[in-house]
Amino acid sequence: MPVPSNEPIIAIRGLSHTYGVGTTGSIHALDGVDLDIFPGEYLAILGHNGSGKSTLARHLNVLLRPTAGEVWVKGLDTRVPENTWTIRRSVGMVFQVPDNQIVASIVEEDVAFGPENLGVPEEELHQRVEWALGAVGLLDLRQREPHRLSAGQKQRVALAGVMAMKPDILVLDEATSMLDPEARREVLAVVHSLNREGLTVVAITHLMDEATDAGRVIVLQAGKIGLEGTPRQVLTRVEEMRKLQLDVPQATELAYLLHQRDPSFPRDLLTVHEVVDAVRQRAPARAFQQGQAAE
């Protein structure tokens, strides 16, 4: 994974957003968020329903503008209407339901739709479509009708359509939440591969196991950042995560329960392999203790 630059590619300062400003039914979705996102990093944003995570995502490519505060993308202020087109060329978004992003009747035509509207010359357009379909593993389905594809394949078509526009930042807004485990692995494998090549990724998710592979995690609570750090620093804080109405990875839950029974067992574990290794390391010592007791 590339080492993030010290200069943020996205800078968010005091961001607040209210839906229905001035009405009796107004909803305060974000409340004074400060956040820097750096080139080449993989940031996971967690939060229960209503925490503001999707609202935050939509500010990154000007689907929403701040009620208060600022969002800067590659040095451009999202509040300035003249910057909208340039920012949207830099920030690609993939949403939860791929059918909402598929507009053409043939896969390769759908992937070409975005860059074609950007005015990409025909020769380069073909190269981009070829590259994007190859990146998501769908070259052999380029002439297929999208409605005949599986959900995972459709999501990869949506991802290819975004990637063909060559964004600097990819925002996934619950993009894998409706997929089965195998399709989810396929899509995430593509995203992580692109991230290793330098693409900045911001993943909005409620799936804890996805967040374990991020470089940094933030947790939103009532429109504010409640927790922030590496996956190990955040996801292993079981009591705090529960207070925020969030689960933790299953391996972390198991380590937490084992730690409750035996305080010497490590509680900051994230994966099944880590739990298995911890159990194996303790097995010889426990067997020796039992042998000593038998003597």
pLDDT in tens, 189-216: 888 988 999 999 999 988 887 899 999 9
Residues in the chain: 295
Is 238 contained in some domain? yes
pLDDT > 70 fraction of the chain, expressed in percent and rounded: 94
Helix (H) or strand (E) holding 186: helix 181-196
Mean local confidence (pLDDT), 269-288 = 79
Question: Looking at residue 101, which CATH number applies to its domain?
Answer: 3.40.50.300
Asked whether residue 241 falls in the same domain as residue 254, the answer is no
Question: Which of helix, strand or coil describes residue 108?
Answer: helix
In a domain, 166, yes or no: yes
Task: DSSP for 255-268, please give it.
Answer: HHHHHHH-TTS---
Residue range 27-70, pLDDT digits in tens: 999 999 999 999 999 999 999 888 999 999 999 999 999 999 99
Number of domains in the chain: 2
227 in the same domain as 206: yes
Structural domain contains residue 5:
no
Residues 216 and 256 in one domain: no
Task: Check whether residue 66 and residue 151 sit in a common domain.
Answer: yes
Domain that holds residue 267: 249-295
- Verify that 169 and 85 share a domain, yes or no: yes
CB 89 within 8 A of CB 165: yes
Residue 84 confidence class, pLDDT cut points 50, 70, 90: very high
**When comparing pLDDT for 3 and 52, which is higher?**
52
Residue 3 lies inside a defined structural domain of this protein: no
pLDDT at 294 over 70: no
Residues 170 and 277 in one domain: no
Instruction: Identify the pLDDT of residue 284.
Output: 61
Residue 176: closest CA among 1, 4, 44: 44
Do the domain assignments include residue 4? Answer: no
177 shares its domain with 232: yes
pLDDT band at 185 (very low <50, low <70, confident <90, very high): confident
When pLDDT is cut at 50, 70 and 90, the band that residue 161 belongs to is: very high
pTM: 0.86
Q: In this structure, are 67 and 190 located in the same domain?
A: yes
Please say if the pLDDT value at position 3 is more than 80: no
Q: Which of 248, 264, 283 is the last residue of a domain?
A: 248
- 53 and 187 assigned to the same domain: yes
On whether residue 279 sits in a domain, the answer given is yes
**Does 267 map to a domain?**
yes
Amino acid at 30: L
| Confidence check: pLDDT of 117 > 90 | no
Domain co-membership, 76 together with 144:
yes
Question: Is residue 92, in this structure, part of any structural domain at all?
Answer: yes
- Domain shared by 25 and 120, yes or no: yes
Q: What residue type is 175 in one-letter code? A: A
